[in-house]
Amino acid sequence: MSETKLDRSEVAAMIDHTLLDPAASDADVRVLVDEARELGVYAVCVSPSMLPLRTTGDPSGPVLATVAGFPSGKHHSLIKGAEARLAVDQGAAEVDMVIDVGAAVAGEYNAVHADILTVREAIGHTPVLKVIIESAVLSDDAIVETCRAAERAGADFVKTSTGFHPAGGASVEAVRLMAQTVGGRLGVKASGGIRTADDALAMIDAGATRLGLSRTSAVLDGFRST
């Protein structure tokens, strides 16, 4: 049983309402933004090809987030940096980049650090940088070292998953380990496979400070309103 007592609006304020389906259209993104405003979430996260979004002009509306090197991470670091820089120029306030997961699996943490640092330097220090590590693929030691590399490179968050990897998405164990490693100095975003209010609460109890959801309404329906 969760010890966390949060109402619907408090959880909504932790959510990136996400649409990264390769088949998504402009109309789908407009629906996403309308839903985000109605639900009161923190941010919307869309593919960089959908930018700029002219539907997010309301300053009280959701923050605009996007991805870089998504979903494989097997892009040259300079390409990730250029993609992220263009997205910021087109209005993105947050970028969720995918690391070279293979480098992390191989224990090449200097390469992981350099990859993240390239993106950080490309976008500057004002935009929020979240680093997707694909935690389901990594050993506990690799999760710890990858989170440390992200922190050294100036990331703002570490994030569990793209939601596209066959190994799976977020787990309570991975979120807890990530949160322990960054010790509150970085945020922790749990993403991938979070479909119910109980799932969301388990991630928050484990240390998640942000949630990436595509089934946001269904999750929020499990929380009381005040």
Question: What confidence tens digit (pLDDT) does each residue in 22-55 have?
Answer: 999 999 999 999 999 999 999 999 999 999 986 5
Over residues 121-144, the mean pLDDT reads 98
Q: Is residue 92 part of a domain?
A: yes
Residue 5 pLDDT: 82
Among residues 16, 96, 100, 156, the one annotated as catalytic is: 96
Cα–Cα distance for residue pair 213/195, rounded to 1 Å: 8
Domain count, the chain: 1
- Split at pLDDT 50, 70, 90, the class of 72 is very high
Mean pLDDT of all residues in the chain?
95
Active site residue 159: yes
Does the structure show a pLDDT above 50 at 1? no
Does the structure show a pLDDT above 80 at 71? yes
Q: Is residue 131 part of a domain?
A: yes
Does the structure show a pLDDT above 80 at 2? no
Structure tokens belonging to residue 32: 């996403």
Q: Is residue 1 part of a domain?
A: no
- Bridge partner list, 73: none
Cα–Cα distance for residue pair 82/175, rounded to 1 Å: 29
**DSSP secondary structure letter of residue 207:** T
Q: Which domain holds residue 114?
A: 8-221
Among residues 16, 130, 189, 199, the one annotated as catalytic is: 189
- Is 199 in contact with 160 (CB distance < 8 Å)? no
Give the Å distances, CA to CA, from 208 to 54, 165, 191: 30, 20, 10
pTM beyond cutoff 0.75: yes
Does the structure show a pLDDT above 70 at 58? no
We report the CATH number of the domain holding residue 189 as 3.20.20.70
Q: Is residue 96 part of a domain?
A: yes
What type of residue sits at position 186? Answer: L
Q: Is residue 176 part of a domain?
A: yes
Active site residue 74: no
Over residues 126-148, the mean pLDDT reads 98
Q: Is residue 3 part of a domain?
A: no
Q: Is residue 226 part of a domain?
A: no
Q: Is residue 2 part of a domain?
A: no
